[in-house]
Structure 1
Amino acid sequence: MFKKNLNWRLGFRGSSTARRLSVYRLAWTTFFLLLVAGLTACNTVKNMPPANLSEPGWTVLQGQAVWRPKLTAPEIAGDLLVATNLDGRSFIQFTKTPLPIVVGQTTSNSWKIHFVPNNQTFSAPGHPPSKIVWLHLPRDLAGAKPPKFWHFTKKESGTWHLEEHFTGESLEGYLNP
């Protein structure tokens, strides 16, 4: 009785050949899923060296910015530091005195960002995702096209505005050389 109920619950109906095929199918499916999971595992950047802004080749801009993380969130005003290097690296830091809020950097083939209040760090090889506006700001300021769904406006007064209309996230500010 137990064997019959167990076979019915596991889906083993009919002949022993059908049961054997079901076991093989289950084994191959499990193997395939484990293989795919292993090959697509997260490939994070382990040790991105800290940016040394006193090295030659860095252009450092400092100013003020107002960040609204989403439409319903309050605005956060703070100090902004944006640095770019001739080799394609960039560094950004948004600080609400006395603590940094966001610290990020990019290289030609990787990116890393740290949200200090939540103690969250994200990094990966390749280009930064379009959802992380901070890592795209240095390129946008240099005249590159902003990520999809983001709108960048540079005003005559020297201020700039970067906004994503769907989420309401925005970043506005000015920088002095």
Structure 2
Amino acid sequence: MRIRHFAATALLWTGLVASSVQAQPRPCLTDGEAEALFQVLLPDMVSEMGRVCTALPASAFLRRPNPAFAARLQSGVAPALPSARSGIAKLLGPDLQPIAGSMFVLPALKVIVVPLAGQMIEPADCPKLDKIVANLAPLPPKNLAGVFVGMAQLDADRRKDGPKLPLCPMARPK
């Protein structure tokens, strides 16, 4: 099943883009940085799900315009930007950290990451994605991003091969 890969893909491709410019190890992304990065990408990712899942009925959550949900997701972008930029700086490494604050970095990441994540969606996954997003939609953007990062961490823990986004290990509950 590729649904859990969808959350991982956004974070993974961000890391892959950055890792292609350097071979040295990078520090891991904290939960907060990964969540912020995903929170910034979330409005475009949800739109991409709706664009890709055209076989869903018109009444499906991902297919019908939901201005209130879209506005809520968008409202989460600005507060997440500082932590997202910190995570991007880590991914870029010391030589390229100065461009993490550039106004061009986030649009460039979106242009690369969102379509690649969309390609990971299999048509059979669309009804499941629709149900997941519809059920999680009432969450604040930060919490919604946290759920997707948790899924990415699960995926990273289970993967034995292939590139992984450098996520710091999830803290154990006390």
Superposition TM-score tier, normalisation by shorter sequence: under 0.3
Structure number having the greater helix percentage: 2
Q: TM-score of the superposition, structure 2-length normalised? A: 0.25
Structure number having the greater strand percentage: 1
Q: TM-score of the superposition, structure 1-length normalised? A: 0.24
